Amino acid sequence: MIPPGKTLGVLGGGQLGRMFAHAAERLGYHIHIYEPSLESPAAEVSAHAVHAPYTDLAALEAFVRGCAAVTYEFENIPVEPLQRIENTGVFRPKWQILEITQNRLREKTWLRKNEFPHVPFAECEANADLAATIRQIGIPCVVKTADFGYDGKGQQKISDEASLAHAVTSFQGQRAVVERWVDFKCELSVLVARSTQGETRSFPVAENIHTKHILDFSLVPARVSAAVQERARALAEAIATRLDLVGLLAVELFLTNREEILVNELAPRPHNSGHWTLDACVTSQFEQHVRAVAGLPLGDVSTTAPATVMVNILGDAWKWSDGQCTGAPDWSALLHEPRVHLHLYGKNEPRLGRKMGHFTVIGNDPEDALERARRLKTAL
């Protein structure tokens, strides 16, 4: 166990690192941030920040030596430097999990090898015949870059010959994954923590609604049966155990029209769909991640509200004219609501599609919470 008073390190300086730092400092830990950019939301609230490339072995090694344990706030960190200095310190989760989850092909191959339910897919090497791979899987399907994808970046739905031709051009020279299109009832996610002792504990299943490939609303409890929720939790815990995870894992899922549960993506870190836990759970996802990384007993994941909806706030909510930001939103619609919690991430520059914050709505039941969340988003 790493007791309070010690230093924990975070690779990455975004909003997930910022909220991790808040949770860790409440427990008495000191937080050091390693982030290449000179300005970052996490560095703003940390005790110390190192600004250097992830490939700077000397800087990275010195950072790791100064921390009792190191974790990550996103998975797209080069793993080769971590591999070279893995004996320098304690990495939780281990770098091998990053290597699997930062590449769509490796991730899906791992799921298939370990017999976890997943979307059928085929690999297409760079400069290979993408059209033939698409026809092998069948139309409709989705083409995705193999590496470093999130929020819908690097992917395209193929629904006809015109979109097939466009994909062949746009993915030229890139290694790609072609996935069969899934007709699903809804998208779900489970956040599961696993301790150094192998204990697992899952948060309640969230139902996720996306707009333009970016998470828009997360709703808890999910509007699915108790049996589906239990199957989803069991699947997430089995994956965390098979990975030998120490930390937090987000498992994104499709629930199909045939009641199948298929794994879509994995993220070994706190996740956007778990932000509701800050305001409606005994232990937030960020405190749980701190507890797992530090070797503490895991916290209670019971909810403290009948229903909760998390709503992402994108840069689109700012005032814009001719492509230029002219002002911040009027927050009064949210701040006047006593059962609404506003969280802003401290990002200096709003951009269209950029996650700038979120708010959570506490409701009497899922439909009530979602209706009020939609109304408040429209007002914002």
Q: Are 263 and 357 part of one and the same domain?
A: yes
CATH number of 141's domain:
3.30.1490.20
Which pLDDT score, from 0 to 100, does residue 147 have? 77
Residue 164, pLDDT above cutoff 70 = yes
What's the total number of domains in the chain? Answer: 3
In a domain, 263, yes or no: yes
Q: What is the 3-state secondary structure (H, E, C) of the chain?
A: CCCCCCEEEEECCCHHHHHHHHHHHHCCCEEEEECCCCCCCCHHHCCEEECCCCCCHHHHHHHHHCCCEEEECCCCCCHHHHHHCCCCCCECCCHHHHHHHCEHHHHHHHHHHCCCCECCEEEECCCCCHHHHHHHHCCCEEEEECECCCCCCCEEEECCHHHHHHHHHHCCCCCEEEEECCCEEEEEEEEEEECCCCCEEECCCEEEEEECCEEEEEEECCCCCHHHHHHHHHHHHHHHHHHCCCEEEEEEEEEECCCCEEEEEEECCCCHHHCCHHHHECCCHHHHHHHHHHCCCCCCCCECCCEEEEEEEEHHHCEEECCEEEECCCCHHHHCCCCEEEEECCCCCCCCCCEEEEEEEEECCHHHHHHHHHHHHHHC
Quickly state the pLDDT bin for 341 (edges 50, 70, 90): very high
Residue 271, pLDDT above cutoff 90 = yes
Q: Are 190 and 155 part of one and the same domain?
A: no
In a domain, 112, yes or no: no
Q: Are 158 and 251 part of one and the same domain?
A: no
Quickly state the pLDDT bin for 173 (edges 50, 70, 90): confident
Q: Are 250 and 355 part of one and the same domain?
A: yes
User: Residue 346 is part of which domain span?
Assistant: 184-379
Q: Are 281 and 201 part of one and the same domain?
A: yes
Tokens of 322: 């001719």
Q: Are 148 and 270 part of one and the same domain?
A: no
Quickly state the pLDDT bin for 152 (edges 50, 70, 90): low
Average per-residue pLDDT in the chain?
95
Which pLDDT score, from 0 to 100, does residue 55 have? 96
Which pLDDT score, from 0 to 100, does residue 287 have? 98
Q: Are 206 and 86 part of one and the same domain?
A: no
In a domain, 58, yes or no: yes
In a domain, 115, yes or no: no
The average pLDDT across 360-372 equals: 96
The string of pLDDT tens digits covering residues 181-204 is 999 999 999 999 999 999 999 999
List all residues 6 or more positions away from 77 whose beta carbon is below 8 Å from its beta carbon: 11, 12, 54, 98, 102
Domain boundary pick from 180, 203, 224: 180
Q: Are 244 and 304 part of one and the same domain?
A: yes
Domain boundary pick from 180, 204, 220: 180
CATH number of 345's domain:
3.30.470.20
Quickly state the pLDDT bin for 57 (edges 50, 70, 90): very high
What is the biggest distance separating any 2 CA atoms in the chain, rounded to whole angstroms?
A: 60
The average pLDDT across 44-52 equals: 97
Which pLDDT score, from 0 to 100, does residue 150 have? 63
Which pLDDT score, from 0 to 100, does residue 149 have? 60
In a domain, 109, yes or no: no
Q: Are 202 and 173 part of one and the same domain?
A: no
Quickly state the pLDDT bin for 151 (edges 50, 70, 90): low
Higher per-residue pLDDT: 192 or 128: 192
Q: Are 132 and 71 part of one and the same domain?
A: no
Which pLDDT score, from 0 to 100, does residue 316 have? 95
CATH number of 78's domain:
3.40.50.20
Q: Are 271 and 299 part of one and the same domain?
A: yes
The string of pLDDT tens digits covering residues 200-247 is 999 999 999 999 889 999 999 999 999 999 999 999 999 999 999 999
